Structure 1
Amino acid sequence: MNPNERDALVDQVVTEIYDAYPWLWAEFGQHGRERTKEDNYHHIDHLYTAYEMKSADFFLDYTLWLQNVEEKEKLEEAIEQNNRLSAPFIELTKDTALVPLFGDLTSDKMQAVEDYLLKASQKRGDRPIVI
């Protein structure tokens, strides 16, 4: 496969992905499209290498590895979301909020909570934060 064919194939695949899932553009913008393009170059390269090697196992191993990466990312995202949800920002008055912490206090949870609290408090304006 020459570079022009490769580029055309990746462009076609990325266009089809963004046509099929228009919300991707709204959520990830041009940066997301570029990352999708990068990912698809990797996919095409592995598929072509498997073709040249006449080895379906090579590509299957790659797809299994991708699945593991995606599952790990989803799990990490779920843990981070759980950490954020375990510390709800409850506004009591215009100057006071309550943040009860649920579950074990780990450094990951505290980091997620800290980021979440800073964003929540910034939405309320320039008020002091006492932790």
Structure 2
Amino acid sequence: MAQRDVVFPPGRQALYERNRYSPAIRCNGLLFVSGQVGSREDGSPEPDLEKQVRLAFDNLNGILQAAGCTFDDVIDVTVFIVDPEPKFERIWKVVPEYWGNAPHPTLTAVGVTWLYGFDFEIKVIAKLPEATAD
């Protein structure tokens, strides 16, 4: 097996190593980003929902930047929301602050019962800058 081309955001490598997963992998012109949550520096959940969503996007953007990408390079998004019915509108008020320009990426939203103490998680696939030819 070829070695994985892992992308680590600055200052959080120990957190990923402790939890035994890669934040993102470059492969065939794409960046596959693991689910990002609104974790504080120590990995604990931010209790305020809107702040948690902002932190999740900040953590996502840190990984995208480490790979030379922005949210405008994102082509596919999956979000996971614990108990989405009462939370969706509050979450979706925050999303446009980070979402990027139209046309927007594809989106799949999934309601879940548990996210390790978090209420929101976002994972994406982005096109790497050096892979811009169609």
How high is the TM-score relative to the length of structure 1?
Answer: 0.26
Structure with the higher helix share, 1 or 2: 1
The structure in which a higher percent of residues are strand is: 2
Which of structures 1 and 2 has the bigger CA Rg? Answer: 1
